[in-house]
Every structure is written in C-alpha cells, then in structure tokens.
Chain A
Amino acid sequence: DTAVSQTPKYLVTQMGNDKSIKCEQNLGHDTMYWYKQDSKKFLKIMFSYNNKELIINETVPNRFSPKSPDKAHLNLHINSLELGDSAVYFCASSPPPAFDPLYNEQFFGPGTRLTVL
C-alpha cells in the first residue's frame, strides 16, 4: 500500500505551459509539504500545509500555487513554466511538527521529474 503517491512520475513540457502535479497520502497525517530538488540534489522546502491551511510559503514565485482540497491531498499547480523550473518535485507528509518535534519523521513520495524544454 503506497503511503505517499504522486502523479505523474515524469512530466515533459514546453516553456510557457501550465501543469499540475498531484499528491495523495494515506497515512492520516495532518501536515503535507512540497519540496524542490535541483540538479545538485539540494532539497528545498517550497510549501507546507497543516490541515488544509498554508503554514509555510518559502520564497517561491507566485506562478506556483498549492491547493489542498482535503487533508489527504496537496496538489501543485505551476503557471507559465520556465526552464529553471526543471527539477524533481517531492511531496511529503508528517504529523504536525509541534506534536513531536524531536521525532517528527517525514514520509516522501517517489518524486515527479519535471523537464521544461
């Protein structure tokens, strides 16, 4: 049973297009995240949602808009794609960090490799 799933696994698209990545978790977690991992493998937090509410919004262009229709889903919509958006995007989930800050484990999806041509 997949804990955190993302679709699609691969996404190849042209500059200027709009695309969405979907994420679902069946772990019953209240908190979900979007990360971007660039070619140097640096993992950078983009957004964090707790119970469908945005709690972290790092310095990310407003072309990126997360949407959480319910606690189990956090989708990422990207408008007007640019070459620099090419990366692997990871969705993750965890219990609320404040619940057990020492042992708060994040569970990651398999990633979506986005290539913008």
Chain B
Amino acid sequence: TQLLEQSPQFLSIQEGENLTVYCNSSSVFSSLQWYRQEPGEGPVLLVTVVTGGEVKKLKRLTFQFGDARKDSSLHITAAQPGDTGLYLCAGPQDSNYQLIWGAGTKLIIKP
C-alpha cells in the first residue's frame, strides 16, 4: 500500500521566518502534487513535481521532488500571514491513478 506521511503536523512561526515541510513515502510515486487549503475553502493545487530531483519555484515557495521520487519538500522563504493554511501532498496510486493524500501540515504565520 502506498502511503504519504507529512511532517510536521503543525507549525506556527512568525512572519518573515523561513520554513520547510515534508512529504515522505517508502514507495515510489510517478508524481507528487502540493495543495493548499485555506480556512473555509477546498484545497487548491499549487504545483506538480514529476521528475526525480526536480525543483519548482512559485514566488517564495520552493518545491523539490526527491531523486528517488519517494519524497518531496516545500520550503517557504520569508513567510507571510497569507501563507497560513493546510498544506497537503498527494500522489497517484500505481494501480488505478487515484490520488493518495497525506494528512497535511497545518501552517500558521503570525504577524
């Protein structure tokens, strides 16, 4: 069974600090997606990483896919209160391509 584990579960930091959250698995994934869910809303896709070692940047957010395609990280530089939300990683199952979801990292950025 393919599983995705996210860490930390919860992170609360001050505005302006940097942070990294992780999405790990013992299984290889063909791709991983990162979604952000703001309070009272549904998750929204931020990025998809496909190639081992790939790095994608979205303004202050940097996403990396591990070389072995078993893990991914999200690094936020100079966090802003607008970055507050639940960050979810998801990847397609090999058997039927349905998305498997991690449990998420709840991020709070204090002004």
- Residue contact A43 to B101, C-beta cutoff 8 Å: yes
Report if B11 contacts A (CB, 8 A): no
- Residue contact B41 to A98, C-beta cutoff 8 Å: no
- Residue contact B106 to A111, C-beta cutoff 8 Å: no
- Neighbouring A residues of B106 by C-beta, 8 Å: 41
Q: Which of B14-22, B44-52, B56-64, B73-81 contacts A (4 or more CB under 8 A)?
A: B44-52
**A101: nearest chain-B partner, CB-CB:** B97
- Residue contact B40 to A97, C-beta cutoff 8 Å: no
- Alpha-carbon distance between A111 and B98 when the two chains are bound, in angstroms: 20
- Residue contact A45 to B98, C-beta cutoff 8 Å: yes
**A9: nearest chain-B partner, CB-CB:** B40
- Residue contact B30 to A43, C-beta cutoff 8 Å: no
- Neighbouring B residues of A45 by C-beta, 8 Å: 98-99, 101
- The count of residues in chain A whose C-beta lies closer than 8 Å to any C-beta of chain B is 23
- Residue contact B42 to A108, C-beta cutoff 8 Å: yes
**A108: nearest chain-B partner, CB-CB:** B42
**A105: nearest chain-B partner, CB-CB:** B45
- Alpha-carbon distance between A45 and B90 when the two chains are bound, in angstroms: 12
Report if B28 contacts A (CB, 8 A): no
State how many angstroms separate the Cβ of B12 from the closest Cβ of chain A. 15
- Residue contact B48 to A102, C-beta cutoff 8 Å: yes
* B interface residues with partner A (beta carbon < 8 Å): 30-31, 33, 37, 40-45, 48, 50, 86, 88, 90, 92, 96-99, 101, 103-104, 106
**Nearest 6 CB-CB pairings of A with B:** A108-B42, A97-B97, A101-B97, A102-B31, A105-B45, A101-B92
